[in-house]
Amino acid sequence: ILGGYEAKPHLRPYMASLQLDGQHVCGGFLIAEQWVLSAAHCTEETDGRVFQVLLGAHSLREPEPHKRLYRVRAQIPHPGSNIHNNKDDLLLLQLEEKAELNAHVQVLPWQREDRDVAADTVCEVAGWGTISHSGRRPDKLYQVERPVISRDVCNHRTRHDGTITEKMMCTDSRKKDSCKGDSGGPLVCSGVAEGVVTAGSRVCGNYKKPAIYTRIAPYAAWIDGVMASAAG
Ligand SMILES: NCc1cccc(Nc2n[nH]c3ncnc(Nc4cccc(O)c4)c23)c1
């Protein structure tokens, strides 16, 4: 997160850190007791290894009472996701067991109504991604507020030049922005997850490249289907 600030500990109890060998790779969030939603691009450069999911954390390193690392039973990228574009950039992770819910570990409601969030709506994005252009990685969860910008503005030829589909949304990226390692985290508007951070052009903090999020509502049937089929 660039231009943000340290989050109040455990006020975002849905936040997940997707890790490999104890290293934070991507964000994610709890959408059901045994399911985390993240971004399919997070599995690139992992050469098929399975993540572990850290829940209940504020600090990545320090011991905290409700922090717990979960094994993943299955990683299911959206069938339409690929390495060449940002389309369908979603990843469902089934935990080996149901997460133990408490004040520090909670499910985040996600938007099922497929309607655009109005431009200028201020939403929040949080993560353990880089907090400087030099790539400094925080130990603690950071967050930043960002206004939604319209698809038309985001698709302007000087911005993302028509690549933003109706299954994506954008926020202003001037100075304050998501960045490397924040992919997979939720864009939260009025307490509801509306989008999932996707790296897009990978640029951070440049107003000419607004941040791109995969909208969740268009994928409700896929999410429900995967959770139902793997249940039990
Ligand atoms: N704001 C959009 C967004 C969301 C999520 C991730 C990303 N960026 C990145 N995703 N993956 C990456 N691998 C290497 N470098 C990257 N960006 C980077 C890193 C240091 C300085 C800087 O100015 C930009 C990214 C960008």
State pLDDT tens for residues 143-172: 999 999 999 999 999 999 999 999 999 999
**Is the pLDDT assigned to residue 54 strictly greater than 80?**
yes
**Is the pLDDT assigned to residue 231 strictly greater than 80?**
no
**Is the pLDDT assigned to residue 184 strictly greater than 80?**
yes
CA of 227 to the centre of ligand 1 (A): 30
pLDDT band at 232 (very low <50, low <70, confident <90, very high): low
Q: What pLDDT was estimated at residue 167? A: 98
pLDDT band at 72 (very low <50, low <70, confident <90, very high): very high
Q: What integer is the mean pLDDT of 203-217?
A: 98
Alpha-carbon distance values, 66 to 31, 99, 161, 193, 210 (Å): 18, 11, 44, 23, 35
For the Cβ of 106 lying below 6 angstroms from any atom of ligand 1, the answer is: no
CA of 5 to the centre of ligand 1 (A): 18
CA of 90 to the centre of ligand 1 (A): 17
Q: What integer is the mean pLDDT of 93-106?
A: 98
Q: What pLDDT was estimated at residue 45? A: 87
Choose among 83, 94, 96, 95: nearest CA to 40.
83
Mean pLDDT, the chain, integer: 97
pLDDT band at 48 (very low <50, low <70, confident <90, very high): confident
Known catalytic residues are 41, 89, 183
Q: Which of 159, 182, 202 to mutate to test the pocket of ligand 1 (most atoms within 8 A of CB)?
A: 202
Kindly report the backbone phi and psi dihedral angles of residue 152, in degrees, each rounded to the nearest multiple of 5, phi listed first.
-60, -45
Q: Please identify, by atom number, the ligand 1 atom nearest to the C-alpha of residue 177.
A: 1
Residue pair 4/12 in contact (Cβ under 8 Å)? The answer is no
- 154-188: burial string, b at 16+ Cβ within 10 Å, e else: bbeeebbeeebbebbbbbbbeebbbbebbbbbbbb
Q: Output the six-digit token pair for 77.
A: 């990228």
